[in-house]
Every structure is written in C-alpha cells, then in structure tokens.
Structure 1
Amino acid sequence: MPGLRSFSLFRLLIAAAAILLAFVLWSALGSRDDGTARYRTAAVDRGQLQLAISATGALRALSTVDVGSQVSGQVKSVEVDFNQRVQAGQVIARIDPATFEARLNQARADLASARAALEEAIANRRNAEADYVRKRELAERRLIAGSELDLALAARDQARARVGSAEAAVLQRQAAVANAELDLRHTELRSPVDGVVLNRAVEPGQTVAASFQTPVLFQIAEDLSQMLIELSVDESDVGQLRAGQPVRFTVDAFPGREFAGQVKQVRLSATNTQNVITYPVIVAVDNPDGSLLPGMTANAEIEVSRREGVLRVPIAALRYRPADAPEPPAGAMRVGGSELAAAIPAMVAPLNLDASQRAALDADLAAMRERMQQRRTAAAGQAAGPAVPGGGPGGGVMIVAGAGNGAPSPEAIQQAILRRVLEGFAGFRASLDEARRAAFDQALREHLSARRATLWRLQYGKPVPVPVRVGASDSRHAEVQGEGLSEGDLVIVGEELAG
C-alpha cells in the first residue's frame, strides 16, 4: 500500500520537526540571563604549606681583595687578565724599577760612607783613649800640668761620642737601604691570595700615582665555589629569620633553574631608605660548577616554616562573603574549649609521644572535658552573661576588641587564657622534655592567637557559613580548622552571573 506508507512517513517527519522545535525553544529559554548567581568553588584538601619571605640581593664572593700599588711609577707590564686564576705570591704586574734601583744604589753608597766614617771614629777613639792613659800616668808623676790631663779626658769623651754618632748614622743608612729594597720589591705587584681576577684597572704604560691613597689596580675573588648573597629584608619580616633556614633563589641568567642556600647571618646594621627600614641578611651558597657569578641579582625566598598534611583552602575562600551576609562583629574571636580539645591531637602528633606521655595527655584531656561538662551544667537555666578571661580550658571566652574604656586588651586576655590552659595541662607538660614542652607551648600559643574567619560551604546549591580558625598561610593557601569542615568539602571562592 504506497499511500499508507507515504502517510506514515509524513507523520514521522511532523513528529521529528515538533521535537526539534521544542528543543530549540527550551534551549533559548534556558539560556536567558535570569540574574541568578553561579558559585565558583574549590575543594578543601590536605597538603603542604610553606611560609617564605621574599627578598632580592646581589651575589658576591666570600672574600674579594683589592690589590693596589704602594709605589708610584709607570706600569712596565701586566701579567694577568680578566677571569684568570692566580696563585698567592704570583706576579700580576710590574712597575718600571729604574728609579727605585737608582735610589737603592744611592742608599747603599751612603751606607758604605757611613761605615767608613764609623771606622775613622773608632780609630780616633782608640788614639784618644791611649793619649789619655799616657797623660794620666805623667800627671800622677807630676811631669805634666793638670790642665793637659783635662784636655786629654775631654778629647777621649768626644771621640767616644763621635763613635756613637757614627754608629747611629750607619743604622740610619741601613734603614734607608732596607726602605729602598722594599720599594724596589713593591714594583712587582703580587697576588695576596689564590683566586680569580674579577677586575683589571691598569694597562702597560699607565702611570700610577700612590702619593695620597693606594690606587686599586686589580680585584681578586678568593674562592667562587662558595659565594654569598646579601639580601635586604624588611623590618616586619626580619624577626622570623634564623641562621640555618633554607633559601631558594633564581637569577636572571638561568630563568628555569633554582639554586639553594641557607641563612648564614642576620646583621644588625639597619638601612633607612626613604623611611623604609631593611636589614642585611647573608645567605651562604654553594657554587661547585661556577655558574653563579659575582654581581648577579638573586630573587630569593627564605623558608620560614613548612607544614605537611594540613587542612587548607584557597586564600580566595577566606575573602568571599555573600552580598546579603551580615558584617562580622569587629574584633570578635571565640576561644572554645571543645575546639581546643579537638585541636590538641593534631598539636601533639609531631611530638612522637610515648605511652606514659600519651596517658598523661589523655588524663588532662579527660579532666578538661569534665570541667566543660560541669560548666555547661552550672550554666543551664541561667541567663548567658559575658564571659571573663581565665575561665579555664574547659569553657569558652568571647573577646571583643575595644569593648570599652578600661577593658583588657585582646592580647592580655589571650595571655590569661594561655596561662590557664597551660595550668590545665600541667601533668602532660611535666612528662615532656624541654624541647617537646616548648613545641607544645608554641602550638597552644598559635592556636589561641589565631585569626577566626567564616568560610561559605556550598550545600544543596546554597552557601552555608562555617566558622574556622585560620592558621599559617602562603601565597595561595591557608590552613583552616573548624568543626563541620572536612577534606573534600566545596567552599565558595567567588560567584558570577549566569550567562
């Protein structure tokens, strides 16, 4: 039946066209901008946080020696060139010695003359002494007048004085000869150290004048396999630096390569540049292949601390707040006992506690939870009043900066809370050695002084506030801790209008 088949094909074409039209209309309506928000999210994860301080500085050799000339004259020859390795004592330049050789010859002639004069003075002294002896004998026998004996005694004393003067003249001429010999030796400039010639500021035929100050003719780096970086670090960051901290840096000559060093010294000589205070920080660098050169600019990052396996979120998540969300109270911060109890296991994890130390910790935690329960029971049915500092590790304290004139500062309240918390863990702290006790105290201090913030978690398509404690942060992530927040949760980092 041809007619029936044609009718069926026509119906199929009509149905297909209707479906296509419905799809086009649905797409057009669905793509209209209805002004609803679309959230950009990121997952809460665990990873590494590396806190680093950025700074720039210049590379230089461990020791750079400026070599100059102690005598004036015309440079006769230059024996070394740029980048040439030299040994200690090696001649690197010569100054024309003719003038100094002439001075030495003259000084030697003066010395010979002085020695001859000394011999003459000694001979005259012998003659004067012999004459005095003869006349003394004659005077004793009253054969000569006493005045003649006096003249002989004076002549003897004068002869002895002339000998002393002649001896001093000889010493003077010897010093002049030694000085002339020294000046002659100084016409040969020698390297004082083993190293590499960084700079050569002299050419053959050039006249060197060393009358007022020693001119610098060569600059020699003692050892380029070990180098230094002198970084300029802002005063706000220098308090975090310690000798031995690792440093990573790059140089423009090798943009794809990263070099390593460590902090050697934090110097106290501050520099004030347009009211900006910086301190020099010296970084020791190994340079076994000689790729790093003096004067290169180093862009460095000093690793202050590194934390592994922390719960972290992008920095943008801490900045996001829905438009209709109320402003958080200025300076408000909640220090809760339950939050502290939940955070203690993470604090002590790096301490590698033994069984007795863990038992002491469990006992103190149990006592803290018991105090928390007692306070909740005592507070039941009573109107909530303002909490006071020192409520102990079992309760919670609300700190509001600027609560009124005479109110304690947040810092003072934090110190009071810290003291009470440390008292609550006295048994556990007594079981620790000094290093572990200091680490535990520091972890408590960081926990109590940490900033509080609100994250917005995406739940069933709606933002839900989650209070968190913000810990360490780097340029991309921040450590967070909070009840109800776990790895894999989606937090909102921004929003955009649906297009």
Structure 2
Amino acid sequence: MSAAKPTSPSSPNKTLRPRRSPWPKRIVIAVVVLAVAGGGWYFYRQRNAEQAASAYRTAKVERGDIRVAISATGALSAISTVDVGSQISGQVTDVLVDFNDRVTKGQVIARIDPSTYEAQIAQGTAQVNNARAGLATAQATLRNAELDYQRKTELAKNQLVARSDADLARAARDQARAQLAGAQAQINQQIASTQTSRLNLQRTVIRAPVDGVVLTRTIEPGQTVAASLQSPVLFQIAEDLSKMEIVLAIDEADIGQVKPGQSVDFTVDSFPDRKFRGSVQQVRLSATNTSNVITYPVVVAVDNPDGVLLPGMTANAEIEVSHRDDVLRVGNAALRYKPADDDPAAASAAGGPGGARGGLGNDLPAVAAKLKLDANQQAAFDAALEQMKQRMAARTAAPAGGAGGPPGGGAPIIMGGGRGPGGGGGGNNNRNASRGGGAISGAARQRMLERFNQQFGAFRESLSEAQRAQWDGEVAALVSARRVPLYKLVKGEPQAVTVRVGASDGSWTEVSGNIAEGDEVVVGTGRGTK
C-alpha cells in the first residue's frame, strides 16, 4: 500500500509576484518638481531683469565715423571782378558788347564822341606853333642884345662911351635871355597841354582791361557820361568764371577752428540735389559787428569747370573742421542723461564702486603705436607705463587717496582724470559734446602735463624730434580732453563710468575710456525700445 504525499493547506496554488519599490516613482516626481521650481525661479529672475531693464531706455556704443562741420552761408562771386569806367566826360556813340559777352584784353567795348578832344588837339597844335614863333623872335632879340653888349663893352674899355651905356647893354642882353627861356617854357607847356588832349582822345575808346565775361552794362548809345567828380562804372567784367569764391561769415565762437586748406561742401538752390566742393583759401582778420554779433569773413575757393555756378548764387556751406574715422561713439542723448537724486546710479556717479574712471593708461598704448617705436623705445615706454600704474594702484589703496587721490595730485589725476561735474551738457550743438562739464583749468592741466613729463621723461628722451612732437601733441590732447559721466546698463542696473569726449557732429560724440563697443548706455528712463 503506497503512502500519499502530504499537502500543506497554507501554500497557494499559483506563484507569488515580488512587490515593486516606490523609490523610482518618487525620484521622477522629485525631478519634475525641481525642474518646475527651477523654471519658475529662472522665469522670475528673467522677468525681474527685464522689468529692471525696461525701466531705462538704452542705446549701444558703436564704432563709426564722426564729421564735425561748421555751417554758414555766403554768396558766390568771381575771384576777380573789374569795374570798367570812363575817365572823361562825353556822349556815348557806340556800345559794342552786351551782357554775358566774352571779351579779350584790349578789345574795344564802347566809344565816346571824340570831337571835343580833336578840337582841343587842333587848338593846342596852333598854340604850340605860335609859341615857336615867339621863340624865334626871342632868339633874334637875344642875338642883337649880345652883339650890342659886346660893342659897348669894348668902347667902354677905350673910354669912348660912358660906363652906364655898357651896363644898359648888359641888362638888355639878360632880358633877351629871359624872354628866350620864357618862350621855350611856353612851347613845353603847350606841348603838354596838347598831349593831355591826345590822351583824352585815346580815352574816348573804352577797351576791356582783362579777359573775361561782361556781367553788367549800365550805358546805352546816346547817353552822356559825366566824369567830373568820379569815374562812372560802365561795365563790370568777371575775369574768370571757371574759378570762383565764396565769402562766408563765420561766428567768432567758431573762427578758431577754421584753417586754410580745410574742405568745404556746399549746395546752391538752383541744384539742390548736387553737392559742390571747395577749400578754405583765406581767413580774413577784418571782423564785422552786426547787432553785437562778431563775424569774420572766410574766403572759400571753388572750381567751376562746367560753368553751372553763377555769380550771386547763395551757397549753403559746411566747413569740415574735423574728421574722425572708426572711433567709439555714443548718441548725444546718453551724454545728456542724468539720474534722479534718489536713483542708485546717482550714488554711483558720486564715487561709488560703479564710478569707474577712464584713465590715460588705456589710451597711451594706442598713442605709442602711432609713433612706430623700435625695440628700445618700446621697452622704455612699457617700463614707464608700468611704473605709472603701480603708483596709481598705491595711491588708490592708500586711505587718504579715497577715490582717485587728493585734488591736484600727480598720478591719480593723470591716470583717472577728473570727473565732470555735469554730465548733461553734451550734444547741445554741432561742435562740442559738452560745455563746462569735465573741463580742466589751465593751471591744473599744466600740473598734469608736468607730472606726466616727469613720469615718461626717459621714454620721451629716447624719441626722435618728430616722434617727440607727435607724442607731446597727443598727450596734450588727452590731458585737456573733457570728461563726463556715462551710465552703462550692467545686469539691469545703471553703472556710472567717466569717459573722455572728443569730436561731436551734433548727433554722435566720440568717447574713450572704460567703455567698449556694444555696451548698453542709458539715454533715459521709462519703457522704450532698446
């Protein structure tokens, strides 16, 4: 009898599945929650940054050209205009030229009735002949007086006549000599008078004194010319219209920038779409006072080969006094911006950490590059520049130095310059980026130059004469440059930086210092387009 297998009443009929761990699901949920939280935090930060940025209107610092020009108006005229008049009076019989006619030197252009002067010549000729007859009579009288004097002198020696008779004969001889001299003088006088009449006869024919074009004609045939008091102007002849000139009236505030040789662009109303060019030929010293406004005449030479420019046309001219190529520039609105007193940027401009100064140390390498230094000169420059930076760093770290050192000090002023007390003056006219703000007095500028020459003395001595002159000019321009504050937008907040301003064309101003191309600068507050 076989034994049966025991069975366990508690064992299930099918296989039990293992239980899943809850941690993977929890990890996924945590990652999703963290991603949502991170995205929310990033969106919140980005939104706050955009809101902060939208509180300011900005513009970018860019590179470009700046052309500084002075505007003025004047009238075109021929370089040489000759007034042709008459030296004699009389009736005009012929007028041989008209307006716009071309004439050559010596060409007959008019005639005056010569009959009066022909009669004067005939009368003068007769008077000369009469005087010559009187001269012959005087000569005969003199010969007779000479012979009588000789006879009576011999008789008086032999005591055959009285001494008084010899004296009377001598007096008669002297009188005859005087009469002969008078007759000769009368002949000369009549010849001179006749010669004057002949000259007046020649002047009845009016000739062109120069080659040119007749601009005006003020006489007609039959008209009487009276030249007793002053010579009347009969014609006006422009010598050469292929070359003309413009006389511009330049204000005394701008005349110091105008130099001979500067380029001039101008337009005329007759050709509004065409631009003509000229150059400054002369800056005249004769000032004109019109309603207490002082102006100086500036002569601009103009070529007119095609003859389209005519005398008297009004020229609207611009004298190019400066041209800067490929420089950092900002819109003048950025120079006019000034934060409110409660704005954090105002504290930054007053000397906070954001008020970074633009020093000469950033510009000196570019100046040195223009000099084309050799190896020894470059080494001397690098050493002097490094010493200046070290002294500047020491002054800045000193407690008394504060933000840039004491006023009138040496290296701090040279490296950092001076902060402009008013940054809102820029761009108010087409010649200066600012007036007053950041200006340095003459005494302070002199001290800065002296300190600078001491620091770079060894390097300067290594330069040639031409290099030294260029170096001195560039350094003087850097030291005397105006300094104003700009406000860069950094992480949504405006940060004040002091920059040097240069040429301005009324819309853009050249800047240099602690600023770079592409930086955002504040031009105003409120929402606006960047």
Q: Which bin holds the TM-score, normalised by the shorter protein? A: 0.7 to 0.9
TM-score of the superposed pair, with normalisation by structure 2 = 0.78
Task: Return 216-225 or 164-173, whichever deviates more.
Answer: 216-225
Q: Which amino acid aligns with 1:445?
A: A
1:375 to 370, 382, 395: 395
Contact preservation (8 Å) 1:333, 1:452:
no
Distance 1:410 1:154 in 2: 93
Who is 1:104 aligned against?
121
- In 1, are the aligned partners of 2:396 and 2:403 still within 8 Å (CA)? no
Q: Which residue of 2 aligns with 1:11?
A: none
SS of structure 1 residue aligned to 2:359: helix
Count of residue pairs brought into register by the alignment: 457
Report if the CA contact (8 A) 2:395-2:401 is conserved: no
1:391 matched to 2:421: no
C-alpha distance in 1, partners of 2:310/2:227? 31
Which is further off, 150-159 or 307-316? 150-159
Q: Distance in 1 between matches of 2:173 and 2:465?
A: 86
Q: Could you tell me whether the CA contact under 8 Å between 1:332 and 1:401 is conserved in 2?
A: no
Q: 2:475 aligned with 1:444, yes or no? A: yes
2:23 alignment partner in structure 1: none
What secondary structure sits across from 2:295 in the alignment? strand
Q: Which whole-Å deviations, capped at 9, do the CAs of 1:289-347 have from their partners, x for residues lacking one?
A: 22222222222222222221111112222223455636869x98999887211121233
Distance 1:342 1:80, change over 3 A: same
The percent identity for this pair of structures is: 56
Tell me by how many angstroms 1:164 deviates: 0.6
Q: Which segment drifts farther, 413-422 or 38-47?
A: 38-47
Q: Which amino acid aligns with 1:422?
A: N
Compute the displacement of 1:159 (Å). 1.4
For residue 94 of structure 2, give the secondary structure of its aligned residue in structure 1: strand
Please say if residues 499 and 512 of structure 2, whose CA atoms lie closer than 8 Å, have aligned partners that are also in contact.
yes
Q: Which whole-Å CA distance do the structure 2 matches of 1:97 and 1:64 have between them?
A: 28
Q: CA–CA distance in 2 between the matches of 1:66 and 1:333?
A: 69
Counterpart of 1:193 in structure 2 is: 210
Extract unaligned runs of 5+ from structure 2: 1-50, 423-439
Distance (Å, rounded) in 1 between the aligned partners of 2:465 and 2:350:
34
Deviations 1:101-120, CA, capped at 9 Å, x for gaps = 11111011111111111111
SS of the residue corresponding to residue 375 of structure 1 reads helix
> Which one-letter code corresponds to 2:445 in the other structure?
Q
Name 1:255's counterpart in structure 2. Answer: 272
Q: Which residue of 1 aligns with 2:92?
A: 75
1:39 and 1:494 in contact (8 A); partners too: yes
User: Is 1:478 aligned to 2:509, yes or no?
Assistant: yes
- Partner deviation per Cα, 1:133-170 (whole Å, 9 max, x = no partner): 23333444444444433332222222111111100100
* Whole-angstrom CA distance in 1 between matches of 2:229 and 2:137: 42
Partner of residue 225 from structure 1, selected from 234, 242, 253: 242
Number of the residue aligned with 1:489:
519
**Superposed displacement of residue 388, structure 1:** 3.1
The partner residue of 2:76 within 51, 59, 63 is 59
Secondary structure of the equivalent of 2:144?
helix
Choose the corresponding residue for 2:485, options 454, 461, 464.
454
1:169 counterpart letter in structure 2: Q
SS in 1 for 2:506: coil
- Pairing 1:173–2:187 present: no
Contact 1:89 1:192 in 2 (8 A): yes
Query: Do residues 325 (structure 1) and 335 (structure 2) align?
Result: no
What is aligned with 2:371? 351
Q: Structure 1 residue 444: deviation in Å?
A: 2.5
1:348 is aligned with what amino acid? A
Q: TM-score, normalised by structure 1?
A: 0.82
Given the alignment, which residue of 483, 500, 506 partners 1:469?
500
- 1:118–1:412 CA distance, 2 compared to 1 (3 A): same
**1:387 touches 1:398 (CA, 8 Å); kept in 2?**
no
In structure 2, the partner of 1:314 is 331
Q: 1:250 to 1:437 in 2, by over 3 A?
A: farther
Task: Give 1:352 deviation, angstroms.
Answer: 3.4
Aligned to 1:276: 293
Q: Residue 411 of structure 2: SS of its match in structure 1?
A: coil
8 Å contact from structure 1 (residues 312, 480) kept in 2 = yes
Shift of the 398–162 alpha-carbon distance from structure 1 to 2, 3 Å rule, reads: closer
1:19-63 Cα offsets, whole Å, 9 max, x none, are xxxxxxxxxxxxxxx9x9576543322111122222222222222
Deviations 1:417-459 (A, max 9, x none): 2221222112222233444433333333333333333334445
SS in 2 for 1:239: helix
Kept after mapping to 1: 8 A contact 2:356/2:496: no
The CA deviation at 1:382 is: 8.5
- 2:433 match: none
Farther off after superposition, 446-455 or 184-193? 446-455
Task: For residue 136 of structure 2, give the secondary structure of its aligned residue in structure 1.
Answer: helix
Q: Which residue in 1 is equivalent to 2:446?
A: 415
1:363 correspondence with 2:383: yes
Check whether the contact 2:417–2:479 (CA below 8 A) recurs between aligned residues.
no
Q: Which residue identity does 1:490 align to in structure 2?
A: E
Match of 2:255 among 238, 246, 258: 238
Q: Which residue of 2 aligns with 1:116?
A: 133
Aligned to 2:360: 340
Of the two, which has the highest radius of gyration? 2
How far apart, in 2, do the equivalents of 1:421 and 1:360 lie? 15
Distance in 2 of aligned mates of 1:388 and 1:455 = 22
1:151 aligns with 2:182: no
- 2:319 maps to a residue whose letter is I
What's the C-alpha RMSD, in Å, of the aligned pairs? 3.2
Q: Structure 1 CA distance, aligned partners of 2:319 and 2:528?
A: 43
Taking a change above 3 Å as real, the CA distance of residues 46 and 250 of structure 1, as seen in their structure-2 partners, is same
Structure 1: where are the runs of 5+ without partners? 1-33, 403-408
Give distance in 2, aligned partners of 1:362 and 1:374.
18
Residue 432 (structure 1) aligned to one of 434, 442, 463: 463
Instruction: Select the residue among 103, 106, 109 that pairs with 1:86.
Output: 103
Instruction: Tell me the distance in 2 between the aligned counterparts of 1:134 and 1:374.
Output: 124
3-state SS of paired residue (1:83): coil
- Deviation for aligned residue 1:398: 5.3
**CA 1:435–1:200 in 2, change beyond 3 Å: closer, same or farther?**
farther
